[in-house]
Amino acid sequence: MRPLDEQLWSSITAGDETAFGWLFDRYSRAVYNHAFRLTGSWSTAEDVTQATFLVAWRRRGDARLVEGSALPWLLVVATNAVRSEWRSARRWLALLRRLPPGRHADGDFADEVAARLDDERRMTEILAVVRRLPSAEREAVALCLWSGVSYADAAAALGISEVAVRSRVSRARSRLARLMPEEIQEGTW
């Protein structure tokens, strides 16, 4: 029988690394998918997932379980990690722009790399549309539609009412239906 998140978190708070490994195994894929949907980049999603669980370990005493689940809290931590990643990327790009242009190496791209690039390109298109939503609606889309968090759990994680979350998701769906090009609407996002 798998231990409940509350039991795991009690052990994790006491410093049990094995329990933390179980929690990681349970939620790393969900956090990774959430991060990819926010960033549109597989490699950045990997970095964000690592950062999320590092923060979770360091702040294990501050975690808020929602309805006995650690996932909503982890997804909020991941969202904050994405914001930090964006700030770092902006600083890095500013630094690169100050460097003289360099030579580019030619490489042999495997099918998997091409598929990943296609996924990233498609997610970039979707993100361009989603970023036009108000931030509150973007958070609701990321948590409820993309990561499958229930309205009640998203409300608890965001500190708002369930009705407010439902309203944000509904408004976001309406706006996205108007904003998204047909080729994006036809796919699964």
- CATH code, 27: 1.10.1740.10
Provide CB contacts within 8 A for 49, sequence distance 6+: 28, 31, 32, 35, 78
**pLDDT tens track for 81-115:** 998 887 877 777 777 777 776 655 555 557 777 77
Query: What's the total number of domains in the chain?
Result: 1
Closest to 54 measured CA to CA, from 24, 32, 27: 24
Question: Binning pLDDT at 50, 70 and 90, where does residue 21 land?
Answer: very high
Say if residue 189's pLDDT is above 60: no
Better pLDDT: 149 or 108: 149
- Per-residue model confidence (pLDDT) at position 98: 75
Read off the pLDDT band of 188 (50, 70, 90). Answer: very low
pLDDT reported for residue 103: 52
- The pLDDT value given to residue 183: 46
107 belongs to a structural domain: no
Hey, which bits of 24-137 come out as E strands? Answer: none
**Tally of residues, the chain:** 189
Q: Check: pTM over 0.85? Answer yes or no.
A: no
The residue range of the domain holding 178 is 5-99+113-186
Whether 164 is covered by a domain: the verdict is: yes
Q: What is the mean pLDDT of the segment spanning 144-168?
A: 91
